[in-house]
Chains A and B, each alone.
Chain A
């Protein structure tokens, strides 16, 4: 028989090293360059970011359509040729149009660095938005839109954003079927010229960076220029809708999607790291209160998550789950019950320690390897924050008290004014 004691965990303290081997500089045209040397394989992650997100669009679908059309034909190459070359060199690209920014992220073998830059300069700065490709894209997008509308998660999620940020703000505005007919290539060209500006681009490159990197980046991306344009932008204010509770009926649905939450502070606020802690405790990890209660004790759902995320003009707190129709109102009641407890009672020390260590481990993971480091860097940089953001986060995680958690819950959580959207 073994003498091994299996009752006690062999636990050791650990810490996150947040030191990024970061070099930053400015290219000839004013573009910002950030280089992170990391990793063991000869691969690179390269991201080009522009302030060309949904926030800039005057009508729905514009930002994302411009972004998706970047690989659909340039001055030198047709759509087929561009895609053929990307695939030939094993360059995997993700085009992304988010709420505040847009651009592309690419992954490729270091030996194809120059080839990749040649292609990116075409894709980013010389797209031609051919009518034929544009028409096809809009038809495809309408097809996808109709399919997505059949998912209760999307129905609830879209209405949630519309309610929290208001139907007139780009964060909240949702496309309707006619919007797929309301764009044309000229609008895309104008948007592109305004917002895909080489001088306002940020390049984040990470991995095993070749010695010639700066020279090649100057040669292919640093020499691109654009005319100065002075855009006067009218900014829509965020105005959430007055009715907070809404249900979207979906015939034949066997589950109801639930989205509960409200607008909140973002990353720039001093309380944000603490709010992150509070949110993880509520529903941000497998051992969270919501997961334990609604999944592991009651079996109402396959999963429930609470998240706090940051946009340029606002933060967002959102709890999401899908529950069987018969259990959805019970699920909502339990969610509110758990929020209430956090607003009334101090969190026990044991649970504080679990969240503390879990989040510290997450922070270690978010600095492991060239891809994770680049993503972490970007997530702070785009809010004008430097790496001290992560040190502050680590400090908060390690030192926050139950009293501070209670204060944060009473400042940022509520059960009265929450948006509560269900679909099913």
Chain B
């Protein structure tokens, strides 16, 4: 059970505080309701590039990291399809430094052409390092546009291609910032060695004077229902074939979200999942197999990925995967197996709450989803998933007409 208090400032900023006196530290998490789904389709990579620029200093604070390091703090950030999330941990005595830093760059970020140019090259190196210069690194770059035809989830957070990032101007950056980075679009969460009153007082002091932004109503194209199987085969210079399959599912707040998470755990959670037992352990068709849901706010994907053993026919490997999924739809699940998946969830949920930073991130995300108190009912929500819910959801989503399949093939004339 995680205790918390919530507040709302006049400018719209939401504040959540969870006090934990067992730690000498404080975590501050600042979530902006802005992700790559909010980008112009011709300027993808914008949200993530902006995240980089937020660390490049302002008029008041020329070097963002310097005072934080002097305060004994550490920070980082990530961007995904839905959100941009900044976080700091630091000794409790210096909590005000965190307020000072985060409020300053919210009220007046110090963008400039030279900073933009440097961060464009840094981000392009990141693009190369993580997606282009890795075996299978571009698989999700290929799978997304196969699965999504209209919704902005069709592009990845890093961007469609380095050229999009190169084309972004300072004006584009300012426009995106003004639209999304204001108190009404942000959730501030404090966890650790601080009282709610003190956190509220400091929030008023540092964030209170920031002007509320203009209202912007998000209007994203809905993804039309997929009505037929989609396939893409590509060849790359990799040592083994790989299989990627993605099915559409409901949104994060939908009634079957937990059910789908349970299904992917039944398939590939731990080393006792059904897929692992069949296609890795018994049949030796794959060297690794994985299944997960993307957990996106808008309707997301169920994804299965696997690396195929050398000499195994990918068609045969895929059939084995399909068969395991068909069995899940056709025949019931033993009580024990369902209990196992729920126990695993409970365990990982309690474990993730041993860190004040995880708690701060989780609280922020649940607030964004509409109810911060869900953090304490998630385990129950998983416990409530029944066999009937599983077979209905599997039947509804895990059908071929709803599936996009990518065969990532090792090229035949592989050079050394």
Residues of A within 8 A of B (CB): 2, 4, 6-7, 9-14, 16-17, 38-43, 71, 79-80, 83-84, 86-92, 107-109, 136, 139-140, 142-144, 146-147, 149-152, 207, 251-255, 285-287, 295-302, 322-324, 353-355, 357-358, 360-362, 364-365, 368-371
- In the complex, besides A150-B134, A251-B415, 14 extra interface pairs with C-beta distance below 8 angstroms are A10-B96, A10-B100, A14-B71, A16-B24, A83-B270, A87-B271, A90-B346, A143-B310, A254-B133, A296-B56, A322-B129, A357-B72, A368-B23, A369-B354
Q: How far is the CB of A325 from chain B (nearest CB, A)?
A: 9
Q: Are A324 and B128 in contact (CB under 8 A)?
A: yes
- Stretch in B114-122, B166-174, B175-183, B361-369 touching the partner: B114-122
B395 within 8 A of partner (CB): no
Closest to B238 in A: A150
Which of A90, A144, A357 is close to B69, meaning CB atoms less than 8 Å apart?
A357
Which of A87, A146, A253, A362 is close to B270, meaning CB atoms less than 8 Å apart?
A87
Q: Are A147 and B128 in contact (CB under 8 A)?
A: no
Contacts A9-B71, A254-B132 hold; do A323 and B239 have CB atoms under 8 A apart?
A: no
Tell me the bound Cα distance from A6 to B104 in angstroms: 7
Which of B20, B209, B350 is close to A42, meaning CB atoms less than 8 Å apart?
B350
Which of A4, A151, A323 is close to B205, meaning CB atoms less than 8 Å apart?
A4
Tell me the bound Cα distance from A253 to B103 in angstroms: 42
Q: Which parts of B259-303 form the interface with A (CB within 8 Å)?
A: 269-272, 277, 280-281, 284, 287-288
Q: Are B339 and A287 in contact (CB under 8 A)?
A: no
B91 within 8 A of partner (CB): yes
Residues of chain A within 8 A of B415, CB atoms compared: 251
Tell me the bound Cα distance from A4 to B103 in angstroms: 11
Q: Are A322 and B340 in contact (CB under 8 A)?
A: no
Q: How far is the CB of A294 from chain B (nearest CB, A)?
A: 10
Tell me the bound Cα distance from A208 to B375 in angstroms: 22
Contacts A42-B350, A357-B71, A364-B24 hold; do A90 and B66 have CB atoms under 8 A apart?
A: no
Mask: chain B, 11-24; 1 = CB below 8 Å from A; 0 = not: 00000000010111
Residues of chain A within 8 A of B104, CB atoms compared: 6
Residues of B within 8 A of A (CB-CB), count: 85
Tell me the bound Cα distance from A41 to B130 in angstroms: 35
Q: Are B71 and A88 in contact (CB under 8 A)?
A: no
Contacts A7-B60, A83-B271, A287-B69 hold; do A368 and B25 have CB atoms under 8 A apart?
A: yes
B187 within 8 A of partner (CB): no
Tell me the bound Cα distance from A54 to B182 in angstroms: 53
Residues of B within 8 A of A (CB): 20, 22-25, 56, 60-61, 63, 65-67, 69-74, 89-94, 96-97, 100-101, 103-104, 117-126, 128-130, 132-136, 205-206, 209, 237-240, 269-272, 277, 280-281, 284, 287-288, 307, 309-310, 336, 339-340, 343-348, 350-351, 353-356, 415-416
Which of A147, A300, A322 is close to B135, meaning CB atoms less than 8 Å apart?
A147
Tell me the bound Cα distance from A74 to B129 in angstroms: 41
Which of A16, A139, A140, A255 is close to B129, meaning CB atoms less than 8 Å apart?
A255
Tell me the bound Cα distance from A327 to B399 in angstroms: 48
Which of B66, B91, B118 is close to A361, meaning CB atoms less than 8 Å apart?
B91
Closest to A296 in B: B118
Q: Are B237 and A88 in contact (CB under 8 A)?
A: no
Residues of chain B within 8 A of A354, CB atoms compared: 66, 69-70
Tell me the bound Cα distance from A149 to B66 in angstroms: 38
Which of A286, A297, A302 is close to B125, meaning CB atoms less than 8 Å apart?
A302
Q: Are B122 and A299 in contact (CB under 8 A)?
A: yes
- 19 residue pairs of the A-B complex, CB under 8 angstroms, read A9-B97, A11-B71, A13-B93, A86-B272, A89-B347, A90-B343, A90-B344, A143-B287, A147-B307, A296-B122, A300-B121, A302-B122, A302-B123, A322-B129, A358-B72, A361-B71, A361-B72, A361-B91, A362-B72
Contacts A6-B60, A43-B354, A92-B347 hold; do A295 and B287 have CB atoms under 8 A apart?
A: no
Which of B237, B277, B284, B353 is close to A251, meaning CB atoms less than 8 Å apart?
B237
Contacts A88-B339, A297-B118 hold; do A12 and B23 have CB atoms under 8 A apart?
A: no
Q: Are B66 and A287 in contact (CB under 8 A)?
A: yes
